Amino acid sequence: MLEIAFIRNNAEHVKERLAVKHFKELNLVDEAVVVDEKRRAIQKQLDDNLAKQNAIAKEIGELFKQGKKDEADAKKAETAALKEESKTLEEQLSNNETELKNILVRLPNLPNALVPVGKTPEDNLVVKEAGVIPALFPDALAHWDIAKKLNLFDLELGVKITGAGFPVYRGKGAKLQRSLVNFFLDNAVEAGYHEVIPPHMVNEASAFGTGQLPDKEGQMYHITLDEFYMIPTAEVPVTNIVRDEILEEKNMPVKFAAYSPCFRREAGSYGKDVRGLNRVHQFEKVEIVQIAHPDKSYEVLDEMVRHVEGLLTKLELPYRILRLCGGDMSFGSALTYDFEVWSAAQKRWLEVSSVSNFETFQSNRMKTRFRDESKKTRLVHTLNGSALALPRIVASLLENHQSTDGTVKIPSALQPYTGFSILS
C-alpha cells in the first residue's frame, strides 16, 4: 500500500510510475488526494471539538470539587451540542477513512526505475543465462513419464485422496523432496538466514499484511469456519513476524528462511501448463525473507538473487534470470527477478523462483518500522524470494539429468542429502 503522504506530495509522479505497470485507474490517485484532504479537514474539526469538550469536562470537575453543584450542572448542557456534532464528525471520519483505504488498497506499488517498459512476458528482460542446455537423445522423456517409470510420484493417487494437483510422492521421489528441502535450508542458514517453521494457515490480518488480501483472495484456500487461509507461500506468515513491530536499525537486515508447503487454488489453469508437476495445488518450497533498511534494500535484493543463482548452479541446472517488465510484475512488487530453469524434454523455461523487493508496500500495511539515527520511525523495506520451489526443480532435474538407460543422475551437491547418486 502506498503512503498517502507520499501520494499527496507526488501525485503526478505516482501516476507516471503506475502507468509503467499498465495500471488503468489512474484517476484513483487524484481521488485519494481529494478524499485525504477531506479527511484532514474533518479530523481537524473533530479534534477541536473534542478539545473543547475536554476543557468543559475539566471545568465541571473543578466545580464539583468546590461544591458548586448548580454551576456544574449548568455547564453540562453546554456539551450536548458539541457531543452531537462530534458524533457526526466521527462517523464522517470513519466513512472517509474507509473510503480512503479502499482506494489505497487498489493502487499497485510503484515500479523501480530499473523495471523494463513492457506489457507481456515477452517484454521481460533476460539479464543472465547460465548453465548448459543439454542436447537430449531422441526418445528423452518428460518428467511425468520418468516419474511413472521410476515410481517417484503419483498424481492419480492424489486425485483419489484429495483432487487434481495434489501429488503423492513416494520412495526415492519422496526422499528427493526431503533432500531438496534440507539442501535449500542448509544453504540458507549457511548464508546467515534464521530458520523458522511458520504456521501453515494465517489469519486475515496476516494475509492483508503481505498483500494477498484483498487483491488475490481467489488464490488462497479459505477455511471459512475459523477465518483462516492456507498459506500460498511462507512469505505470508514469515514476513508477518515483524508486523506491528519497531525494529532497531542495528538488528537489520533481519533474515528469515522457512520451509513450508504452499497451497494455491490456481483457478483457471489448464493444458500443458499444468501437466505433471508444472503446476500443482500443493507444493514444497523454501522461502527467504529479508527486512531491510530502505537505503540498502537493493543491495539486499542482489544478494538474494546471487543466493538463488548459487543453488541452481549447485544443482547443475541451466537457468536464466529475468527482470520482469511493468506489465508482468506483481501488484505489490517494486522490482522482481524471476528465475527459470530449462525443462529439457518440454523444451521450455519453467519459473522456479521469484525474488522481489516490495519496498514499503508491505511494511506500510503491516506497520513495520525501524528507528533511524535521529530516533524517528521509518517504514522498512521487505523482500522475499523462493529458494527454491520444488516441483519444477524436480521436473527439470529429471528431464535434464536423465540417461539413455532410463535412470536419472543426482547432482553431486545433492547426493549427501539423498544418499543415492541415481534414480533408478
Chain contacts with RNA (rule: CB under 7 A)? 4-5, 40, 43-44, 46-48, 50-51, 53-58, 60-61, 64, 72, 76, 79, 83, 246, 369, 371, 375, 377
Of 52 and 194, nearer to RNA (C-beta) is: 52
Contact 257, 287 (CB under 8 A): yes
Phi, psi at 386, each rounded to 5°: -80, 135
Q: Is 238 left (phi over 0), alpha (psi -120 to 50) or beta?
A: alpha
What DSSP string describes 267-289?
TT--GGGGSTTSS-SEEEEEEEE
State the DSSP H helix or E strand holding residue 336, giving kind and residue range, or none if neither.
strand 335-343
Nearest distance, CB of residue 291 and RNA, angstroms: 16
User: Between residues 363 and 386, which has the closer beta carbon with respect to RNA?
Assistant: 363
Contact call for residues 422 and 409 (beta carbons, < 8 A): yes
User: In this structure, which amino acid lies at residue 281?
Assistant: H
Residue whose CB is less far from RNA, 71 or 123: 71
CB of 246 to RNA, least distance (A): 6
Greatest Cα pair distance in the chain:
103
CB-wise, 3 or 154, nearer to RNA? 3
What is the identity of the amino acid at 271? Answer: G
**Nearer to RNA among residue 83 and residue 272 (C-beta):** 83
User: What's the burial of 75, exposed, middle or buried (CB within 10 Å: 0-12/13-18/19+)?
Assistant: middle
- What single string gives the DSSP state of each residue in 97-138? HHHHHHHHTTSPPPPPTTSPP-SSGGGSEEEEEESPPP---T
Q: Closest approach of Cβ 10 to RNA, in Å?
A: 15
Q: Are 200 and 259 in contact (CB under 8 A)?
A: no
Q: Is the CB of 62 or the CB of 299 nearer to RNA?
A: 62
Nearer of residues 47 and 217 to RNA, judged by Cβ: 47
Which residue type does 80 have? A
What is the smallest separation between the CB atom of 290 and RNA, expressed in angstroms? 21
Q: How far is the CB of 311 from RNA (least distance, A)?
A: 32
Least distance CB 78 / RNA (angstroms): 8
Q: How far apart are CA 276 and CA 278, in angstroms?
A: 6
- Whose Cβ is closer to RNA: residue 6's or residue 420's? 6
- Any idea which residue has 549457511 for its cell? 190
Q: Name the minimum Å distance from CB 206 to RNA.
A: 13
In the complex with RNA, which residue's Cβ is closer, 19 or 50? 50
The minimum distance between CB 47 and RNA, in angstroms, equals: 4
Q: Whole-number minimum distance, CB 83 to RNA, in Å? A: 6
Would you report the helix, strand and coil content of the chain in percent, each value rounded to 5?
45, 20, 35
